[in-house]
A and B are shown apart, each in its own frame.
Chain A
Amino acid sequence: MIKIVKRDQPSRAIFFFTPVLAIFLTLVAGGLIFFILGFKPFEALKFFFIVPIADKYGFSELLLKATPLCLIAIGLSFCFKSNNWNIGAEGQLTFGAIVSGGVALLFYEQEGFYILPIVILAGAIGGMLYASIPAILKTYFNTNEILVSLMLVYVSKLILDYLVVGPWSNPEGFNFPETRQFSDSAKLPLLFEGLRIHAGIFLALAAVVISWFVFYKTYLGFQMKVSGFSLKTAKYAGYKGKKMIILVFLISGACAGLAGVGEITGPIGQLHREISPDYGFTAIIVAFLGRLHPVGIIFASLVVAITYLGAETAQIFMQIPKYTGQVFQGMILFFLLASDYLLFFKFKFIGSKK
């Protein structure tokens, strides 16, 4: 007989094991889905997970997709670890892209080393501004940040829509909903000739290191953690709890904004309607799959990035819609949440009793 027993304490080993288990179960379930659709499961999974990254170009694409995911997830980990449920990173990404894109357009047809830093900074500030809305509403008006941050995503997308169709649309663009191409000085340098991977990856890596340091090693990080768990405790300890909440939102917004900058000044090079295939939402999965730990998030962002690439390959070679990618992302989160049950419970095998 199998009995489910509550653990005395959550197990540390299981804590890092469940993400691996979740990925494994996702593969099994994914294979099953392919089988039902009439494909050979192993072959289909190969198209999905191996073929896309089998060559140099594919690997560069993997890093390209993983960069924004990692950057946003790092920012989100600040929020999530301190119990602030910012799920509007997609909006902060979009707004960061709008602000930095606007600045980049200002410097249209200009050259200069100073342009790119300004553009990047503008993106971070844009993301921060946008994240400050749910933060301030939460701290001073007791609104629910989940709702506010989520709804603001759609607001930002509509603002972007308006801008690229209206005032910022390319005068020579035959009314296509897009802006002018940014000048080369407003673009992130490519790392290798012929590959799309760009310098934005260094931003993500820097974010990983800085976030690890701040959260685990500094007094500031400690105060954020305490304030996130309980504002009452923060007040009692003498911390400025509300400011800490706003701060984690700002950090998270800045990261999302930077991810937006990376996209528009990297592979895209202009503003148009679809600057992000929901990186801001997918990064939530990345953050949890990576256990909100900086190193975990690096691995998680790579795993989840494959689902983007795999979906494209599958569409081309197997004629399945690329939304399969989202199915896989959903399954990862689903299995992760399900296997988290093992954190608190264990199976115990006991012989039948006479």
Chain B
Amino acid sequence: MNTNLKISNVTKIYPGCVANDNVSLEFNSGKIYALLGENGAGKSTLVKILSGVIIPDEGEIYLNKNNLKLNSPLDAKKNDIGMVFQHFNLFETLSVFENLIIDSDEQRESLREKIDSIMKKYNFSIDLDIPVLNLSAGQKQKVEIIRCLIRNPKVLIMDEPTSVLTEQETSELFLSLKKFSEEGILIIYITHKLKEVMQLCDEVAVMRRGKLVSVSEIKNENIESLANKMVGQNLKTIKKKKAKNSSDQLIKITNLNFTSEDPFETNLMDINFSVNRGECLGIAGISGNGQSELFQVLSGEIISDKNCIEFNNNYIGDLNPQERREYLMAFSPEDRLEQAAIPQMKIFENVALNNFKSSNFFNNGLINENKIKEHSKKIISDFNVNTDNIELKSQFLSGGNLQKLIIGRELITSPDLLICFNPTWGLDVGAINYIHETLIKINEQNKSIILISTDTDELLKLSDKISVIHKGKLSKIMNAEEVTSEKLGILMGGAN
């Protein structure tokens, strides 16, 4: 049976912002629809309206010509609309099975059979009886999907599903989504990643600042045309000039090993590499192959043998991050909200987290607030952070602005080496472009970068040399010109 979902003149206004401005759209099953837009374009609001989380100020929703009144997520479920959110809604300490049955009143036994048959049908392999916290991001997402499938949905909405997935997991997800679509489930796919839209979808609706900008078929579009519609202006393409072949070595890692007590961490084995001044070394890999551990070893959150890390002719393996900063290293961790910054603290307090001696943020154990504030203002203006209020809690900054603040905080010391881990994770095109430009600028100033990233395009764009990490081991270091994304893919899979 055909499913027809119609959004008619939906408007949602928040204080100071029109999240959805008179949006009308129509979807039919058998196709995969992309809802494309930058962060803050209003796409999440729209799907939250569809899933009953938000009630629109105006407008109607029709499913197969029936007017739906969605006052709660439960209403959406009753009307066969399933939704997988960007951030998982799972109870980490409960088992997979418990998570799946939590909102159902069917019999446990029959549900288990049903779940088993769904998993078999779509080739999902997840142990139902282990706690969710032991699952990878990709597996957690599958649990969320199964939770929707149990209810035989007519509509399945996926909100930025690949932001936490590896390339492999992404392609698995796409296969599943195509299968669902063939079976008659209407799929609405929300994203800001253009490549995915081209790969997966049949039709695309672009939103910008709460308004629907265009609806078109994918075959009439290409990445550039979509990007321009999404951003509303022509994006300049940035290109990195090839680094001068410097032989001035900045950091050298020798025979570095790390064995973790935590069974969910990856051990690092026999890591050896060096980076010259002005160079960017990219480290590719599928997430969970030791990137996080490598970052921590390099930043000093995990301390290693003194002699393992030689930086600027000093042995610093046994120093903590603060001490390493004094040698002009800087770090931008992957997790913006839980590690690199504290959302509940003000912007200027977050700036003080990068405390190096010459900053004079703290004198004789006392806080020098004026100094910190002065410094924060400089970062905000130098790095285009879109606010002028340094007393603002950083939770009110968008992802892109927060990342600019963090990178700015790290770079304001003009470090010799910046180590960053997935610096553009989850950001919109504009912010990604800005961060990329900044990183290229660093190299041009003869400073070095170690870029650990799961985004191969990013690595190919920014790196001079590339290595791949797999199960805690680094591949040999290759010159970026010799590398293609196919070759990286093979190495990331563990082949030689």
Contacts and interface: CB of A to CB of B under 8 A. Distances in A.
A243 interface: no
Measured as residues with beta carbon below 8 angstroms from the partner, the interface class of chain A is 20 to 34
B323 A238 contact: yes
A40 interface: no
B366 A236 contact: no
A57 interface: no
B82 interface: no
Interface stretch (B246-254, B266-274, B341-349, B442-450): B341-349
A11 interface: no
Interface string B299-342: 11100000000000000000011110100000101010011111
Contact of B15 (A8, A225, A236): A8
Given A229-B344, A230-B342, A237 B355 contact: yes
A225 B355 CA distance: 15
Given A8-B15, A238-B320, A238-B322, A233 B366 contact: no
B338 A232 contact: yes
Nearest to A229: B342
Chain B's interface size range is 20 to 34
B362 interface: yes
B263 interface: no
A222 B15 contact: no
Interface string A214-246: 001111111001100110110111110000000
A147 interface: no
Given A9-B396, A230-B342, A222 B335 contact: no
Contacts of A226: 342, 345, 353
A268 B208 CA distance: 71
B339 A218 contact: no
B365 A233 contact: no
A217 B367 contact: yes
Contact of B345 (A6, A218, A229): A229
B226 interface: no
B106 to A, nearest CB: 33
A146 interface: no
A41 to B, nearest CB: 40
A307 B432 CA distance: 58
Given A236-B331, A238-B300, A219 B362 contact: yes
6 contacts: A217-B366, A218-B367, A232-B338, A238-B321, A238-B322, A238-B355
Interface of B: 14-16, 299-301, 320-323, 325, 331, 333, 335, 338-342, 344-345, 349, 352-355, 362, 365-367, 392-393, 396
- Closest A-B pairs by Cβ, 9 of them: A238-B322, A219-B362, A238-B321, A232-B339, A238-B320, A229-B342, A237-B353, A235-B301, A219-B365
